[in-house]
Amino acid sequence: MAEYRLRDGRTLLLRDPAEADAPELVEYLKIVGGETDFLLCDETGIEGLTVEGEKEWIRTTLAAKNTKMFIGTIGGEIVLVCDVRAAARKRVSHSAGVAISIKRSCWHVGVGSIAMQAMIDFARSTGELRQLSLEVREGNERAIALYRRFGFVEVGRHKGRIQIRGEYFDEILMDLDLTLTQR
């Protein structure tokens, strides 16, 4: 567990998930999904996700090689979930995807930067991961700026990939070459 002081004075604890977090994580996804149109889930969370399914996701994540999930809490409440998830197939196992979500009450206070640094530090610590990839919806300028600050570059787009209430948005693909960047 690591402790960080946020710009607004609150303390963020960054830790591994536990199966006991599963019920709160299922609800968390509904909350963050309802707070923004920039995530793939909405106010209903992830379709079909159950507490038992989330427990299995946590177990699988904890057991997977070159994969790590971080839970961020403030006063015991989950406000951040992020992960680095390595590809399972040998030919692409040097590459991992990253994902991040933050409750709106914790936007603009440094949580995103803490999460990005933790994910990059973990990826580098494996000695095997060479590339991180992520997808971000066009128009999510603050997230794109965060990713660029950490060295991610746009490598492509899926045109009209994301549909929200009948409007289509590009999904921007971004990569970070861990062999070139040191922070």
Q: Which residue shows structure tokens 């603050």?
A: 142
Q: Which residue shows structure tokens 């040191």?
A: 182
- Would you state the pLDDT for residue 88? 86
Sequence-ordered list of residues with C-beta below 8 angstroms from that of 110, at least 6 positions apart, any chain: 4, 6, 7
CATH tag for 2-177 (out of 1.10.10.60, 3.10.129.10, 3.30.43.10, 3.40.630.30): 3.40.630.30
Q: Taking the chain (183 residues) in consecutive chunks of 10 residues, what is each chunk's mean pLDDT? A: 95 96 92 88 75 91 92 96 93 95 96 97 95 96 96 97 95 96 54
Domain ranges of the chain: 2-177
- Would you state the pLDDT for residue 122? 96
- Would you state the pLDDT for residue 47? 76
* Residue 96 bridge partners (DSSP): 86, 132
The pTM of this model reads: 0.92
- Would you state the pLDDT for residue 170? 97
In this structure, the strands spanning 131-137 and 95-102 are parallel
Q: CA distances (Å), 120 to each of 12, 41, 49, in order? A: 18, 24, 28
